[in-house]
């Protein structure tokens, strides 16, 4: 089976942290040392291989910054 994939659009992300709070695998973090075009701290996923492709992050994202495949 191919590995699930999650893609974050760094420029749409406002770093609100809602996805961070719902990820059951706790894979998402706000990048405190990076700024995007908006001047906000976008999130990134550590250990992508542990993503199960559940889509919870994308469902709670108010900015459609996340896409998920499985």
Partner 1 sequence: MQAVFKRTAGLLNIPTHYCPGCTHGILHRLIAEAMCELDILHRTIGVSSVGCTYNNYEYFACDMVQAAHGRAPAVATGIKRVHPSKSVFTYQGDGDLAAIGTAEIIHAAARGEKISVFFANNAIYGMTSGQMAPTTLIGQVTTTSPFGRDPDAQGHPINVSEMMATLPGAVYVERVSLHDYRHIIQAKKAVRKAFRVQEAGLGFSLVEVLSTCPTNWGMDPPKSMDWVAEVMIQQYPLGLFRDPKLEESK
Nearest to 9 by CA among 43, 32, 40, 33: 43
CA dist 15 and 69 (Å) reads: 22
**Minimal distance, residue 45 CB to partner 1, in Å:** 14
**Which residues are at the interface with partner 1 (CB under 8 A)?**
2, 4-5, 11-12, 14-18, 20-22, 38, 40, 53-56, 58-64, 66-70
Please give the angle made by the CA atoms of 46, 3 and 8, to the nearest 5 degrees.
45
In the complex, the smallest distance separating the C-beta of residue 59 from partner 1, rounded to whole angstroms, is 6
Nearer to partner 1, 37 or 46 (CB): 37
């Amino acid at each position: 089976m191919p590995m699930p994939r999650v893609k974050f659009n760094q420029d749409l992300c406002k770093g609100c942290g809602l996805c961070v709070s719902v990820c059951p695998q706790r894979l998402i973090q706000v990048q405190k040392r990076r700024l995007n075009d908006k001047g906000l701290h976008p999130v990134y996923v550590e250990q992508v291989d542990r993503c199960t492709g559940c889509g919870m992050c994308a469902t709670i994202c108010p900015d459609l910054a996340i896409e998920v495949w499985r």
